[in-house]
């Protein structure tokens, strides 16, 4: 017999339901231990009679957790669930547990904003704005109801959170578990601004960024605990939890667990809020300047169809494509094995018959190029999402060869590459394009980018996913600060130039030692600030 008070029901459902189907509906299930922790927050309400809303019920994990806690309260639920298959199972579960409530088989976001609740608890669906049905209607409706302008690129789980906040009764409590993405995403700036304006959030609990709480989801998670009071919250407590077992007892946790309490007026929506879990406060430093003073990173070339636009040497010869239509190109990050990428490295890839050439037929009248363009049209390449919005469809984005590349994803910080080849790059790397000042310090900049000083500054801007995976968008780097190289002495500049050459020559232990030497030089200018 299935135990209702653990995750057996969710595990059984996951085994018999295709992961693609579940992802299409944003279904990722909550561990029962976390559900119980959140249930305690909702139940810690002086009222005996409670109206509780679950806007994305799934298999009733939160309702089962509330039942399990055995609180002597009279509770009536409203349970929204959009998936008819899940509703069928949920009806049986609710009936067996003798839980009083209504199951509403419809989209919570499309429903009324009139009814208020004493408790709202949820693990809302998680998928990006591109896949939201009736996105424009939902966006306009939420902006209208809240009288607040959000970003239309907002992930769906944030819409659930914003609407739920507005359905709280005075004294009502909210407990949501959501991906941490909004804390560091661009669209999250407006979400964070609204949370501060509402003044309901009391606690933000970060569940260890190195492990994924949600099954089969590349995402990190945070628990939001909020309460609607006549006097708005003046501060938010930021907790870092590395062990789910620490969430056994809500009262003990909120009383004794280490946290960083930050006043609302010190919280900046434009700052990536993951920094606040370590107590970060932005400080002005006269020896730092905006990174953009030296240049900017831009994403690599997006082709719209790598299979068509990138070619191996054998494919190049097979289609006899004119050289004027082709550029040497790095198409995958794992083709670059060290901190330096040279012509020799490119030639090695050519010998291995890797995808090393990029087709761009815009300016060529050569017959072989026209033939290859015709081949693409026969294969409907021109009808793909990116290509159909280009004129002509086979004309690629214009990007100069960049001397510094940076990886998009990583598990131990950013990986910077010094490129001496004539290769362009696809979106596997971002490319750095210096200002005139940046050109003067380009070799120094490369050394600096590999130091701990730079890593600490970039860490404030990164986005984190499950299992320690980190992602950096170009503007995450461009918006950061950098040491002002103009204050570095000529003597130290020469030392750093020499270290840069040694770092590029040596790929072993000496490389790290030389980076540490450079780190000390840069840090000496921080100490004088």
Mind listing the pLDDT tens digit for each residue in 240-271?
888 878 888 999 999 999 999 999 988 889 88
Q: How confident is the model at residue 54 (pLDDT cuts 50, 70, 90)?
A: very high
- Segment 485-503, tens digit of pLDDT: 999 999 999 999 999 999 9
For residue 284, pLDDT beyond 60: no
CA distances, 449 to each of 128, 204, 409, 432, 518 (Å): 31, 32, 16, 12, 10
Give CA–CA dist 457/477, Å, rounded: 9
Instruction: Please state the rounded mean pLDDT for residues 3-17.
Output: 77
Task: State mean pLDDT over 334-343.
Answer: 92
- The string of pLDDT tens digits covering residues 400-437 is 999 999 988 766 667 899 999 999 999 999 999 999 99
Q: Please state whether the predicted TM-score (pTM) of the whole model is above 0.95.
A: no
Segment 91-149, tens digit of pLDDT = 998 898 888 989 999 999 999 999 999 999 999 988 776 777 788 989 999 999 999 99
Residue that has been written with the tokens 């990007």 in this structure: 399
* Dist. CA 14–CA 27, nearest whole Å: 10
Predicted confidence (pLDDT) at residue 85 exceeds the cutoff of 50: yes
The chain-wide mean pLDDT, for the chain, equals 87
> Per-residue confidence at 281, pLDDT binned at 50, 70, 90?
low
Segment (H or E) for 406: strand 404-407
Give the domain ranges of the chain.
8-278, 293-527
- Region of 445 please: left (phi>0), alpha (psi -120 to 50) or beta: alpha
DSSP symbol at 22: H
- Which SS3 state, helix, strand or coil, does residue 476 take? helix
Predicted local distance difference test score (pLDDT) of residue 117: 97
Distances (CA, A) of 92 to 57, 87, 448, 498: 13, 9, 61, 72
Instruction: State the pLDDT at residue 209.
Output: 44
Neighbours of 61 (CB within 10 A): 28
Residue 302 has pLDDT above 50, yes or no: yes
Q: Return the CATH number of 8-278, one of 3.40.50.150, 3.40.50.300, 3.40.50.1970, 3.30.420.40.
A: 3.40.50.150
């Amino acid at each position: 017999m299935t135990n209702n008070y653990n995750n057996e029901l969710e595990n059984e459902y996951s085994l018999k339901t295709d992961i693609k189907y579940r992802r299409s509906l944003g279904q990722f299930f909550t561990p029962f231990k976390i559900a119980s922790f959140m249930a305690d927050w909702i139940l810690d309400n002086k009222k005996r009679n409670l109206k509780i809303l679950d806007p994305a019920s799934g298999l009733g994990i939160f309702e089962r957790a509330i039942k399990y806690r055995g609180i002597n309260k009279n509770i009536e639920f409203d349970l929204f669930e959009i998936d008819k298959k899940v509703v069928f199972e949920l009806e049986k579960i609710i009936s067996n547990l003798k839980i009083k409530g209504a199951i509403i088989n419809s989209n919570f976001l499309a429903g009324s904003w009139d009814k208020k609740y004493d408790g709202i608890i949820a693990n809302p669906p998680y998928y990006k704005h591109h896949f939201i049905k009736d996105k424009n209607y939902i966006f306009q409706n939420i902006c209208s109801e809240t009288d607040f302008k959000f970003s239309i690129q907002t992930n769906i789980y944030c819409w659930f959170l914003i609407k739920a906040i507005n359905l709280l009764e005075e004294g009502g409590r909210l407990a949501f578990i959501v991906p941490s993405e909004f804390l560091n995403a661009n669209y999250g700036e407006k979400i964070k601004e609204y949370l501060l304006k509402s003044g309901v959030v009391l606690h933000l609990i970060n569940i260890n960024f190195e492990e994924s709480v949600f099954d089969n989801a590349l995402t990190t998670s945070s628990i939001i605990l909020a309460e609607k009071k006549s006097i708005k919250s003046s501060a938010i407590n930021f907790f870092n939890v590395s062990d789910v077992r620490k969430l056994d007892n809500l009262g003990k946790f909120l009383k004794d667990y280490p946290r960083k309490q930050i006043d609302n007026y010190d919280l900046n929506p434009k700052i990536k809020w993951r920094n606040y879990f370590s107590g970060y406060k932005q400080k002005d430093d006269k020896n730092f300047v905006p990174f953009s003073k030296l240049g900017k990173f831009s994403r690599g070339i997006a082709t719209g169809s790598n299979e068509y636009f990138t070619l191996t040497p054998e494919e190049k010869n097979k289609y006899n494509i004119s050289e004027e239509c082709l550029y040497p190109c790095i198409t995958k990050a794992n083709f670059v094995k060290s901190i330096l990428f040279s012509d020799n490295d490119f030639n090695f890839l050519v010998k291995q018959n890797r995808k090393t050439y990029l087709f761009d037929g815009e300016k060529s009248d050569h017959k072989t190029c026209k033939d290859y363009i015709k081949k693409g049209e026969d294969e409907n390449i021109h009808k793909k999402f990116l290509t159909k919005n280009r004129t002509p469809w086979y004309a690629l984005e214009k990007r100069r060869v960049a001397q510094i590349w940076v990886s998009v994803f990583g598990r131990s910080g950013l990986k910077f590459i010094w490129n001496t080849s004539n290769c362009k790059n696809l979106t596997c790397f971002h490319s750095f394009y210096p200002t005139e000042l940046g050109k003067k310090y380009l070799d120094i900049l490369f050394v600096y980018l590999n130091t701990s000083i730079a890593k600490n500054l970039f860490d404030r801007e990164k986005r984190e996913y499950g299992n320690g995976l980190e992602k950096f968008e170009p503007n995450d780097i461009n918006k950061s600060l950098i040491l002002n190289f103009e204050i570095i002495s000529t003597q130290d500049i020469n030392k750093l130039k020499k270290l840069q050459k040694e770092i590029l020559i040596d790929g072993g232990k000496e490389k790290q030692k030389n980076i540490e030497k450079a780190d000390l030089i840069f840090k000496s200018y921080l100490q004088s600030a």
